[in-house]
Chains A and B, each alone.
Chain A
Amino acid sequence: MRRPGQRSRLGRGRFYSHFWMSFFFLGVLATLSGLYYATLKVDYVWRWYRIPQYFYYQENVEVRAYIRGEVAEITREGDVAHVLVIGDGERGEHKLPPDAVHVEQGDTIYPGDVLGSYREWRTGILLLGLWMTLKVSLVAIFAGVFIGLAAGLCRISSNPALKWAAITYVELIRGSPLLVQIFIWYFVLGTLINTLLAQTGFSQLSPIWYGVTSLAFFAGAYVAEIVRAGIQSIHRGQMEAARSLGMSYPQAMSHIILPQALRRILPPLAGQFISLIKDSSLLGLIAIRELTKATREVVTTSLQPFELWFMCALLYLILTFSLSMFVQYLERRAVIS
């Protein structure tokens, strides 16, 4: 084996790889500066410093009185101050941090007067959107794996009803756009289910449930095909050996076939999960405020679309990249054990 960087006897030397690597980096640099130059040409002002506030920001919280009266008592207990306002047969109690209190005992207070103010850290809309994307994707991935596993097993079943149900499901899902499926889940099935729930006195389901369901069923169809291919790639002799020992079909599946198939389907499964994270961006269209919708909302108020869309793409990249790293780790572990 060749050491890294060592020149092979007939291969190309170190100069060759260094030259072309520099070429690559120059290309990247040229593309970025070209882009930057173009934005200057259209007088776009880059304001990256405005972006962090959409992740975390400080909000000024003002505590106001709601009755007319007099500050009767201010008690400080640890890191909470209680301000008691007593008026004409009324009393108002207010809690706030000790050093935020602006009034003193005996002050006359009118409704709407500021008793104190303090600053509080709040989660920004982009971070909330990212969290929503992560949540929706994770739930859809887990549900999709279960649906896909069941559908994949049905697909190879000898029972015609199960087999044809699986074929119909997979072909229906794979044959239509995800956006259309999301609309069907939300506007058609969602309306039906919510109306029926309302009629029977239950509370209605929020759009997020229909969004997650549509993603899960969409991913499930692809997972089913991956599972089927994985199972069929295991040599027939494995099933025969397991059955010849007296194991039932489910026993042979769970102890022998699926553990081996799982290792083979991990890489294509990871690709499917990454697609699912990206596809979740469509859920913004049914009023689920995930990362893309959150970015769109921020863009309309901040008027900094360039920074925000790049940031949005970067956040998706972080999600998908961590997922693929995690799967690579699982794969390595599966190979070792």
Chain B
Amino acid sequence: MIDVKNISKTFYVSHEVKALKNVTCRIEKGEVVVIIGPSGSGKSTLLRCLNRLEEADEGHIIVDGVDILDRKTNINKARAEMGMVFQSFNLFPHKSVLENVTLAQSVVRKRSKQEAAERAMALLKKVGIAEKAKVYPDQLSGGQQQRVAIARALAMDPKVMLFDEPTSALDPEMIGEVLDVMKTLATEGMTMVVVSHEMGFAREVADRMIFMDEGAIVEEGTPEQIYSNPRQARTKLFLSQIL
């Protein structure tokens, strides 16, 4: 489904920062992959490279047979197939909840107003927030906003969902409701790439975990492997710090 081959990325902020160093990984269809790692390890950069919100300097990323880093690729078309959920929700504050979910459907997918609204209501029901359809985002709690953001991404009927620390900006009591929605998605067979520190979530739904540090993949494996039997010293150290 997603094939990442030898990508590298360097940022220039007063000095050179190598965010990704020669990263290679594969994500299969229907797989749930959780990426963990200390802050600054490049996990968010890797995720953002997948839909070219960041442009990798070197390497190739093939999503569903399409080379994301090819100049000839229609990136808008490719992005429409990849839903993304952000740490800070990024709902459109000047649009109602319903409009947030219908806008891209009509603008990008060219669906009729009624079709888009029906799809949006079904998804809002699914994430348990249908009664707030007419409300504006600033009247919602963080957890509710993030669930709307998930519905907004799902409305495009993406083939893969990317989650960039979806629960990091939430108050503790709201994390559960967002993780529940994500679990439902996972059980339905959605391909998911999740950057997260939610270890319980990872253990429960991840098919595979990737541990990153200093811009490189240090270790990959099933949750059991990573938790109970990490091979690398850095993985052990990180897990001992957060568990």
Interface residues in chain A, defined as those with a beta carbon under 8 Å from any beta carbon in chain B:
235, 237-238, 240-248, 251, 255-256, 259-260, 263
For the complex of A and B, the 9 pairs showing the least CB-CB separation, nearest first, are A246-B80, A241-B90, A245-B104, A237-B90, A244-B84, A246-B108, A246-B79, A246-B76, A248-B76
Q: Looking at the complex, which one of A241, A244, A251, A259 makes contact with B94 (CB distance below 8 Å)? A: A259
| Residues A256 and B92 in contact, CB atoms below 8 Å apart | yes
Chain A residues within 8 Å of B156, by CB:
245-246
Number of A-B contacts (CB under 8 A): 59
Which B-chain residue is minimally distant from A259 (CB atoms)? Answer: B94
| Residues A241 and B92 in contact, CB atoms below 8 Å apart | yes
| Residues A246 and B104 in contact, CB atoms below 8 Å apart | yes
| Residues A260 and B94 in contact, CB atoms below 8 Å apart | yes
Interface centre among B51, B79, B81, B90 (most CB of A within 10 A): B90
Size bin of chain B's contact surface: 20 to 34
Which B-chain residue is minimally distant from A240 (CB atoms)? Answer: B53
**Bound-state Cα–Cα, A106 to B190, Å:** 104
Listed A/B pairs (11) with beta-carbon separation below 8 Å: A235-B88, A241-B90, A241-B149, A243-B76, A244-B53, A244-B79, A245-B80, A245-B156, A246-B79, A259-B94, A260-B94
Chain A residues within 8 Å of B201, by CB:
none
| Residues B152 and A245 in contact, CB atoms below 8 Å apart | yes
| Residues B77 and A246 in contact, CB atoms below 8 Å apart | yes
Which B-chain residue is minimally distant from A246 (CB atoms)? Answer: B80
| Residues A241 and B86 in contact, CB atoms below 8 Å apart | yes
**Bound-state Cα–Cα, A256 to B77, Å:** 19
Which A-chain residue is minimally distant from B104 (CB atoms)? Answer: A245
Interface centre among A243, A246, A263 (most CB of B within 10 A): A246
Task: Flag B79-115 by CB within 8 Å of A: 1 or 0 each.
Answer: 1111110101011111000000001100110000000
Chain B residues within 8 Å of A247, by CB:
76, 104, 107-108
Which A-chain residue is minimally distant from B48 (CB atoms)? Answer: A240
Interface centre among B53, B76, B80, B91 (most CB of A within 10 A): B76
Shortest distance between the CB of B146 and any CB in chain A (Å)? 12
- B49 in the interface (beta carbon within 8 A): no
**Bound-state Cα–Cα, A259 to B83, Å:** 24
**Bound-state Cα–Cα, A243 to B108, Å:** 10
Which A-chain residue is minimally distant from B109 (CB atoms)? Answer: A246
Chain A residues within 8 Å of B61, by CB:
none
**Bound-state Cα–Cα, A238 to B51, Å:** 16
- A260 and B153 contact, Cβ closer than 8 Å, known pairs A237-B88, A246-B76, A246-B79: no
Q: A251-B108, A259-B94, A260-B93 are in contact. List 6 more A-B contacts (CB 8 A).
A: A243-B53, A243-B79, A244-B83, A244-B153, A246-B81, A247-B104
| Residues B92 and A238 in contact, CB atoms below 8 Å apart | yes
Chain A residues within 8 Å of B81, by CB:
246
Interface centre among B77, B84, B94 (most CB of A within 10 A): B94
Shortest distance between the CB of B158 and any CB in chain A (Å)? 9
Chain B residues within 8 Å of A251, by CB:
107-108
Q: Looking at the complex, which one of B90, B93, B153 makes contact with A240 (CB distance below 8 Å)? A: B90
| Residues A244 and B107 in contact, CB atoms below 8 Å apart | no
Shortest distance between the CB of A141 and any CB in chain B (Å)? 24
**Bound-state Cα–Cα, A238 to B81, Å:** 19
**Bound-state Cα–Cα, A114 to B37, Å:** 103
Shortest distance between the CB of A123 and any CB in chain B (Å)? 44
Chain A residues within 8 Å of B94, by CB:
259-260, 263
Shortest distance between the CB of B44 and any CB in chain A (Å)? 12
Which A-chain residue is minimally distant from B100 (CB atoms)? Answer: A241
Shortest distance between the CB of A240 and any CB in chain B (Å)? 6
